[in-house]
Amino acid sequence: MRVDVLCAEIGSTTTVVNAFSGIRTDNPHLEGQGFFRTTVLEGDVTVGLNAAMDDLKSHLQTDHLSWDRFLASSSAAGGLRMSVHGLVYDMTVRAAKEAALGAGANIHQITAGRMSRSDLKKLHENRPNIILIAGGVDYGERETALYNAEKIALLKLDIPVIYAGNLQNREEIGEIFQNTGSPLYIVENVYPGIDRLEVQPARKIIQTIFEEHIVHAPGMDKIRSLVDGPILPTPGAVMEASLLLKENLGDLITFDVGGATTDVHSVTEGSDDVNRIQLYPEPRAKRTVEGDLGVFINRMNVFALSDKKRMTRICGIKEEELEDSVLALNALPKNPQEGALVSELTFTALKTALHRHVGKYRDSFMAQGKKTGSEGRDLTAITTIVGTGGALTRLDTGASLLTEVFTQGHKKDLLPQALPRVLIDSSYIMASLGVLSREYPEAAARLFSFYQAENQTRRVPHGGS
């Protein structure tokens, strides 16, 4: 059997392979899916990938499978790890952080101002996949970024470096990293002027470096030789899909609940009323990643944040037995009671992640009286909630959990007054659509629209549509 495109998503706990046909027609469709656990611990992620492909062939009832293109995304072995170094935390550092997170990175170190000896020691020990240096608006302060660049260059880490700061420093930055072994990429300033964010150029180059240079997990070099198209960090692929869907669905927020993390992606310009009182600028597309909110690998962290009485009531488990029951959970629930526990963990992950992502109204008191401003992410214009990731796509309760989370916001939260509609990526193709959208944007949009219409009444089985 021959298909147009295979798209693999190599996650922290699960590897899925999606097969698509009709990509160049008006009727693109999902032929089928194959699943297997991700085999980082076995020392080679291709073991899990090959098993997922065997599962796909079984569902397609074929012994031979060929394809025109093979694309992929990955968050195995921690995904894309970055460090960010800027001048002022609420300005250049925050802009650089937004660029890195929006590209799909997990940030392992952030520094503001001149890096200290302990900062440099931590950078040497962390050895991120990419280092991002920012600092200074264009034609503004120059010395901090140059100082940090010189100190980083002396470490001779052989790690790709992106410079996205004051444009006046570009020539000197190039000289500093010459002959250091660290590939240097210079892009537009992420904070070119006061209250101006320009994060998209940095995001694009981060994903390019990921594709060209990064081998995260054992066996990823073999996957690079197999894949003939882009490999994106999975969170970056979900962001790409969210950006694509925004054009069709309007302002939206995407929740991606996984075994290790919960990611929240929002694409919105916000509302005029809130924009007028915003204290700091926000990007059009924003991602927050909660590394402590995974419902399998980090399930005990989530359990600690959960309402135990609620879990007891809903799951039918005595409160003193809850902890052992959560400890014993499998990556895939094996019975209704395990499913109920995962559902409650997912609810806690969603509620906590939304609370951390959304902005707030802030009151300040002056001689003239109380003044209300806003700080953080404005979600008041959101009209659609999208749920994806292993937990939300496998649970029958995914849509109701998202609805409930949005009814429990605080009055100070910058949330929409009307409850947004909820769409669940039941066919589990959103990350694949993000990868597809790089080369086949129209097909990716049609695929999501079709499967959303279909999945309002049924789930797509692993064997196909």
Hey, what's the torsion of the CAs at 168, 141, 193, 109, to 10 degrees? 100
Q: What integer is the mean pLDDT of 358-367? A: 85
Top mean-pLDDT range of 8-22, 169-183, 205-219, 231-245: 169-183
Q: What is the pLDDT of residue 451?
A: 62
What is the Cα–Cα distance from 311 to 318, expressed in whole angstroms? 9
* pLDDT tens digits, 127-152: 999 999 999 999 999 999 999 999 99
Per-residue pLDDT of 272-315, as tens digits, reads: 999 999 888 899 999 998 989 989 889 999 999 999 999 999 99
Residue 331 pLDDT greater than 90, yes or no? no
For residue 33, pLDDT over 80 is answered with yes
pLDDT of 463: 35
CB 298 within 8 A of CB 291: yes
Contact 197, 281 (CB under 8 A): yes
What is the arithmetic mean of pLDDT over 361-385? Answer: 88
Q: Which of 458, 381, 389, 375 is CA-nearest to residue 429?
A: 389
Ranges of beta strands (E only) in 134-239 are 161-163, 184-186, 231-233
* Parallel, antiparallel or unpaired: strands 285-290 and 369-375: unpaired
Answer for the pair 419, 286: CB distance below 8 angstroms, yes or no: no
Interatomic CA distance for residues 3 and 385, integer angstroms: 31
Q: What is the pLDDT of residue 41?
A: 74
The CA-based angle 411-417-421, given to 5 degrees, is 125
Report residue 421: phi and psi, to 5°.
-70, 155
pLDDT at 464: 36
63 vs 459, more confident: 63
Q: In this structure, are residues 298 and 292 in contact, taking their beta carbons and an 8 Å threshold?
A: yes
Q: Find how far residue 429's CA is from the centre of its chain.
A: 15
SS3 318: coil
Task: Calculate the average pLDDT of the chain.
Answer: 89
Query: What's this model's pTM, rounded to 2 decimal places?
Result: 0.85
Distances (CA, A) of 99 to 93, 96, 185, 385: 10, 5, 14, 23
| Percent of the chain at pLDDT exceeding 90 | 69
Structural domains of the chain, ranges and CATH numbers in brackets:
2-77+216-229 (3.30.420.40), 80-213 (3.40.50.2300), 232-425 (3.30.420)
Distance (Å, rounded) from C-alpha 304 to C-alpha 314?
Answer: 17
> Out of 18-22, 87-91, 260-264, 452-456, which region has the weakest mean confidence (pLDDT)?
452-456
- Residue 133: the pLDDT is 98
With H, G, I as helix, E, B as strand and everything else as coil, classify residue 343.
helix
Given this model, what pLDDT does residue 78 score? 65
Cβ contacts of 272 within 8 Å, gap of 6 or more: none
**Residue type, position 104, single letter:** G
Contact 342, 295 (CB under 8 A): yes
What span, in angstroms and rounded, lies between the C-alpha atoms of 290 and 352?
Answer: 9
Pull the structure tokens for residue 417: 């007054």
Q: Which residues neighbour 386 within 8 Å (Cβ) at sequence distance 6 or greater? A: 242, 245, 249, 252, 253, 254, 255, 423, 424, 425, 430
181-202 pLDDT, tens digit each = 999 999 999 999 988 999 999 9
pLDDT in tens, 204-221: 999 888 877 665 556 677
| DSSP string computed for 94-121 | HHHHHHHHHTTEEEEEEEESSPPHHHHH
The pLDDT value given to residue 80: 84
Element spanning 361, H or E: strand 360-366
Distance CA 392, CA 399 (A): 8
Residue with tokens 């073991």: 47
CB-facing half-sphere around the CA of 12: CA atoms within 13 A: 21
* Inter-residue contact 17 to 7 (CB < 8 Å): yes
294 by Cβ neighbours in 10 Å (0-12 / 13-18 / 19+) ranks as buried
Question: If 0-12 CB within 10 Å is exposed, 13-18 middle and 19+ buried, where does residue 272 land?
Answer: exposed
Tell me what the mean pLDDT of segment 366-395 comes to. Answer: 88
DSSP three-state, residue 351: helix
Q: Is 281 helix (H, G, I), strand (E, B) or coil?
A: coil
Amino acid sitting at position 438? R
pLDDT in tens, 72-108: 998 776 678 899 999 999 899 999 999 999 888 889 9
Average pLDDT score over residue span 381-399: 91
pLDDT digits (tens, 9 = 90+) for 417-458: 999 999 999 888 999 999 999 899 999 988 987 666 545 433
| β 252-257/231-233 pair status | unpaired
Q: Is the pLDDT of residue 416 over 60?
A: yes
Work out the pLDDT band at 408, boundaries 50, 70, 90. confident
